[in-house]
Structure 1
């Protein structure tokens, strides 16, 4: 990005991508991996616009350069202080009667109402907890996770779902994310929520080998869920649970069929705002 600083004031880029439905997931994931802290979808005639703010870093610069060509990106440089105005409009995410996810900079008057309250600051990472797929998985964790479970969180982002699992009583949570900056952000959020002792975050894009978990969460794009099916299934204990999300409803059957052929059975699914989460149980 040109002129990242003006008069000593840090700069950021407001980015608007124009995509069709087929490229929506890919473009949104590219934004997240490049440091977008919040992404807004706006439906226009025959297309979808993705609005986001990217910080001043190499990943953001590379994305803007290729985004101009592939997705007709419109870019406007703004002061970082101005780009943080989205925080003013952030609201707590009420997942259900048990769980709320609250921006770390916000006071939450209803804290006493909820047994579990997660405080999150995504910083430069992705994951304030308000995306439909995050809400889907958080709700399913509240219903499905047994205390003292070991949990693998693929695509952990800012650590929201790992922290939810820890607060619900997991004895160990391993979060993995391919974004370079996500690990430190997730660790800080774990400390903020007093679950650092049972959570670990590492950078990567592959499922760890040689270890099995009681429960695996994978809130990532449908093509990645399909590619990682075999290693994800291997990483689950027989009789264990896999919660898959990050997929649009039109990819539901494809993903379910792949995991059934990989040795699982469908236990439950949940749809929210056009996004889907599925619960698979690994066969004994």
Structure 2
């Protein structure tokens, strides 16, 4: 029988101070200190992150396939399927194909990729290919502008080949919490400046370029107004978050707004 009165011994290991000396900041390499000292994000970085997140989330929610007719696109893609199969069977591996498609989706909305797409879209052959695939009609030349210049009345004409033309643009802004109205737009919507028909968009007014006329390639354009001015007949029009339900006064339910700008120039038509 064990003795109940026998005491139990309890041992505890206590390391000596010589085995683990205290570490000071001077003993830590500067690379480790710089890696551990991560700076806190700025207010602009937080706004950019929220901007990207809300834009992608709103695009996923508001995407409505009924507004677009994808039937011609699906038919053309199905007709090109044998070409894809032949290409991947003899020239490109499936792994390389998946990598290329994945990389493209990742860089599709990057700044330089958007600029490259705009440059390619100026080519006539690119517009013809897109028209064939999507069954959409793209303007190949500035015929409408050219006809409008030729049909100007005598009030806006100095002579037969010298016309006074007025260009109009829309100035767009979006309201952000903490920033107010500014020209920082969502990546899927219109840019801060665009034409009335939304065919051309610009981040800055200095990006505006005169149209190239097909039958008058040597025409000269001269600005009459020094800067773009606000159209006196129009003021800010306030819209909701999706650029709909416009009204002439601001309210807490309005997050976007636009107004018209105009600028006159002189064009001398030369073939």
Compute the TM-score of the two structures, normalised by the length of structure 2.
0.24
Compute the TM-score of the two structures, normalised by the length of structure 1.
0.24
Question: Radius of gyration: which is bigger?
Answer: 2
Higher relative contact order (CA 8 A, sep 6+): 2
